[in-house]
Amino acid sequence: MTAAREAWRRAALSDAPRLDWALAWMAVEEGASLPAEAMVAALDAMARHVLRASPAADLDDEGPAPGLFGPPGGGDILAARVARLHYALFETYGFRGAPSEADQPESSLLDHVLTRRRGLPILLSAVYLSVAARVGVPAEGVGFPGHFLVTVQTEPRIWIDPYHGGRPVPRDALAARLSALEGHPPSPRRLASALAPVGPAYVLARVENNLKGARLRRGDLAGALRATERLLEVAPELVEELRERGMLRIRLGARAEGRADLVEYLRRWSTAPDRERVERAIALAERDDDSEDA
């Protein structure tokens, strides 16, 4: 295990996971242009920028009035702080999405996102969450299907799209988006589920899944394997990823380890719909091992 992976595990798998440090060490393992400490220091610097003035101070000289997020005129401290956070991240620093880079592996890596100020919705949301935590804004990630969002516990609660420059998204608009995605209006329970806050483990698992897909589309099996390994550590319940890791290990020559993954996959999911295909892969890996030993 590399030193970067060990540091990632300490950040990602602790009782109180640190999303910022986990993403930083993940990027280091993937060959980051910055050390982990520099990435976290950059987030600290952004937070200091947000907190330069009193959170309830008038914002007319630096950005939009806090009326977008609460009572106008700066009377609500949280609303003022959210407005200042938005102005810093999306106006001063210019974070937003870049559709042309959506399929690039770098769009899932924190060093690239901090340097380029561009990234996938979930990475931009992670930056938002990390800086928000530092400045006392109670924000949480939202694993909305197909497009990660952030919610802030203002009254009323708001949903924010960091990919589109921090634009607030009304609940009705999210219900309509979900209806278009799923082909029918969502039930109240389904909408509540789609808008439910998620924790760091979910965020990390979704980031790793995005990175794995980008690596696979480029034929980078070793990179896809690293992402799958980390994904299984934060979300061991995703039994299908056990099959993915097994197949990747076999293709990369680690047949014994891959075979063990596939056997465990079938043990944990005895009714797997691809059981015959997986059994053939196990048999082929065993045959290849036997031919090498002969």
Domain termination site, one of 167, 182, 198: 198
Q: Is residue 217 part of a domain?
A: no
| CA distance linking residue 108 with residue 90, whole number of Å | 19
Look at residue 52 in the predicted model and tell me its pLDDT: 83
Look at residue 290 in the predicted model and tell me its pLDDT: 61
Q: Is residue 273 part of a domain?
A: yes
Q: Is residue 230 part of a domain?
A: no
Q: Running along the chain, 294 residues long, what does each successive block of 10 average in pLDDT?
A: 95 96 98 96 95 51 42 62 92 92 92 96 97 95 95 87 94 95 95 95 97 97 98 97 97 95 96 96 84 58
Same domain? For 64 and 169 the reply is yes
Residues 6+ apart with CB under 8 A from 108: 119, 120, 122, 123, 207, 210, 211, 214
Same domain? For 181 and 61 the reply is yes
Q: Is residue 147 part of a domain?
A: yes
Same domain? For 146 and 285 the reply is no
Look at residue 291 in the predicted model and tell me its pLDDT: 63
| CA distance linking residue 150 with residue 6, whole number of Å | 29
Same domain? For 171 and 271 the reply is no
- Report CA dihedral (268, 274, 279, 280) to the nearest 10 degrees: -160
Residues 6+ apart with CB under 8 A from 246: 257, 258, 259, 260, 261, 262, 265, 281
Establish how many alpha carbons lie within 13 A of residue 175's alpha carbon, considering only the half-sphere containing its beta carbon.
11
Same domain? For 11 and 90 the reply is yes
Same domain? For 69 and 163 the reply is yes
Model pTM above 0.95: no
Look at residue 1 in the predicted model and tell me its pLDDT: 78
Look at residue 166 in the predicted model and tell me its pLDDT: 94
How are beta strands 139-142 and 197-198 bridged, if at all?
antiparallel
Look at residue 57 in the predicted model and tell me its pLDDT: 42
Same domain? For 112 and 250 the reply is no
Establish how many alpha carbons lie within 13 A of residue 217's alpha carbon, considering only the half-sphere containing its beta carbon.
10
| CA distance linking residue 240 with residue 235, whole number of Å | 11
Look at residue 292 in the predicted model and tell me its pLDDT: 64
Token pair listed for 190: 């389904």
> 162 with 128: CB under 8 angstroms?
yes
Q: Is residue 125 part of a domain?
A: yes
3-state SS, one letter per residue, for the chain: CCHHHHHHHHHHCCCCCCHHHHHHHHHHHCCCCCCHHHHHHHHHHHHHHHCCCCCCCCCCCCCCCHHHHCCHHHCCHHHHHHHHHHHHHHHHCCCECCHHHCCCHHHHCHHHHHHHCECCHHHHHHHHHHHHHHHCCCEEEECCCCCCEEEECCCCCEEEEHHHCCEEECHHHHHHHHHHHHCCCCCHHHHHHHCCEECHHHHHHHHHHHHHHHHHHCCCHHHHHHHHHHHHHHCCCCHHHHHHHHHHHHHCCCHHHHHHHHHHHHHHCCCCCCHHHHHHHHHHHHHHHHHHHC
Quote the domain boundaries for residue 286. Answer: 237-293
Look at residue 283 in the predicted model and tell me its pLDDT: 94
Same domain? For 28 and 158 the reply is yes
Same domain? For 13 and 134 the reply is yes
Look at residue 55 in the predicted model and tell me its pLDDT: 41
Same domain? For 251 and 116 the reply is no
- Rounded to the nearest 10 degrees, what angle do helices 239-251 and 255-268 cross at? 160
Number of domains making up the chain: 2
Look at residue 273 in the predicted model and tell me its pLDDT: 96
Q: Is residue 206 part of a domain?
A: no
